[in-house]
Amino acid sequence: MTRPLEGLLVLEFSQFMAGPTAGLRLADLGARVIKIERPVKGEAGRQIAIRNIFVNGDSLVFHTINRNKESYAADLKDPEDLERVKKLIAQADVMTHNFRPGVMEKIGLDYEAVQQVNPKIIYGMVTGYGSKGPWASRPGQDLLIQSLSGLTYLSDTNDAGPVPFGLAVADIMCGAHFVQGILAALIKRGKTQKSVLVEVSLLESVLDLQFEFLTTHLNDGGLLPQRSSVKGSGHAYLSAPYGIYRTANDYLALAMGDLYKIGTAIGVDLSMFDTPALWFERRDEILELLSAQLLTKTTQDWLDLLEPKGIWCSEVLSYAQSLHHEAFEALGIKQHVTLPDGKSLHTTRCPIRIDHQRLYSDVPAPRPGAHTQQIDQQFNLTQA
């Protein structure tokens, strides 16, 4: 299958997660993505590990977000290496980086300088907090961004204090926004034949992730999110029954729905909560009533009762259960990459389908500088 971005050359000066996640998606869609890395050690993200798991000398995390890329080794402080990189930039469509503000200016690869090398370049920047302002020079790390954005006051109960999201949500969302910006810039360049600057920040991405709640906050007189006191409540702004409940043997999730219909179905009298406004104002009382009744039967019993009535509900699965469910298997989301030693590394595929086709790739993340010689020859980078 011809992928939409085939023929597009992307130079990735990015490290860690947000920028490389965007590069991964561009590569999935067919772009040729070349990582520009330090000689020998490569980018710093190669050493950031979950549970200290390393594969072929690099962290498992690095492998998950850098498959299907090439690696070009260059010391950007070395004039000869820098000159070769500029020759490569002159032939590229897109370059991305996530250095702190001022770093690329010192190297001589800021947007204005790169425009002189390639007047049609799409130049993408990821920062923590924007390129200007009082926080511009602070480290842009996921937990710090969550903590500064208000996100940590949306989960758990109202007495839990701030609770971070158990995922690199700032990095992942920012990477997705970065891809959107780059694709839009490519369309603009197609119209103007001129370079385009794309800027995203981790903080703006996490704020945008919360746009529903921030809009509510800005228009309800400044009230704070109201987390429930009941364990399992699923949302700081939604009414009962939204949440996860214990059953006789496991858990059951109930999404939004007609509270009267749900109460009648499970055998709980909720007639005293006779207006939708009360479903939020007296949410904790309702959740407690539902919780007590849902404990009396198994999860499957409740599913058999509620699903035929059109009530939005679900069992609650662990990874071990979810990854072996027939619905998961039907998606074909798993794939493997083939490592240099011939072993397989299991991961997930791109979630996008093009013309009904799933996008798989078995090309592993590269070792530092693995493609330097090949790229030098192909792009004539060593010629005077």
Q: What is the C-alpha to C-alpha distance for residues 69 and 28, in angstroms, rounded to an integer?
A: 10
Please report whether residue 153 resides in a domain: yes
**How many separate domains does the chain show?**
1
Q: Residue 92 belongs to what domain range?
A: 9-209+360-378
Q: What is the C-alpha to C-alpha distance for residues 253 and 72, in angstroms, rounded to an integer?
A: 48
- Ordered per-residue pLDDT tens for the chain, 384 residues: 799 999 999 999 999 999 999 999 999 999 999 999 999 999 999 998 888 899 888 999 999 999 999 999 999 999 999 999 999 999 999 999 999 999 999 999 999 999 999 999 999 999 999 999 999 989 899 999 999 999 999 988 888 899 998 899 999 999 999 999 999 999 999 999 999 999 999 999 999 999 998 998 889 877 778 888 888 888 888 888 999 999 999 999 999 888 889 999 999 998 888 888 888 888 899 999 999 999 999 999 999 999 999 999 999 999 999 999 999 899 999 999 998 888 899 999 999 999 999 999 999 999 999 999 999 999 999 876
Please report whether residue 20 resides in a domain: yes
| 82, amino acid identity | L
Predicted pLDDT at 366: 94
Active site residues: 171
Q: What string of DSSP letters covers 236-261? A: SSPPTT-EEEE-SSSEEEE-S--HHH
Q: Residue 354 — φ and ψ, nearest 5°?
A: -120, 120
Please report whether residue 17 resides in a domain: yes
Please report whether residue 319 resides in a domain: no
Residue 369 token pair: 């500088």
What 308-313 contacts at long range (C-beta under 8 Å, 24+ apart), as own/partner pairs, is 309/261, 309/265, 311/254, 311/257, 311/261, 311/262, 311/265, 312/254, 312/255, 312/256, 312/257, 313/252, 313/253, 313/254, 313/255
Contact between 42 and 62 under an 8 Å Cβ cutoff? The reply is no
Q: What is the C-alpha to C-alpha distance for residues 166 and 190, in angstroms, rounded to an integer?
A: 40
Please report whether residue 263 resides in a domain: no
Residue 237 token pair: 């702004």
Contact between 57 and 86 under an 8 Å Cβ cutoff? The reply is no
Task: State if pTM tops 0.75.
Answer: yes
Q: Where are the alpha helices (DSSP H) in 136-210?
A: 142-149, 169-192, 202-209
Please report whether residue 77 resides in a domain: yes
Please report whether residue 293 resides in a domain: no
Q: What is the CATH number of the domain that holds 27?
A: 3.40.50.10540
Contact between 371 and 34 under an 8 Å Cβ cutoff? The reply is yes
Please report whether residue 86 resides in a domain: yes
Q: What is the C-alpha to C-alpha distance for residues 124 and 178, in angstroms, rounded to an integer?
A: 8
Helices 202-209 and 142-149: crossing angle in degrees, nearest 10, is 50
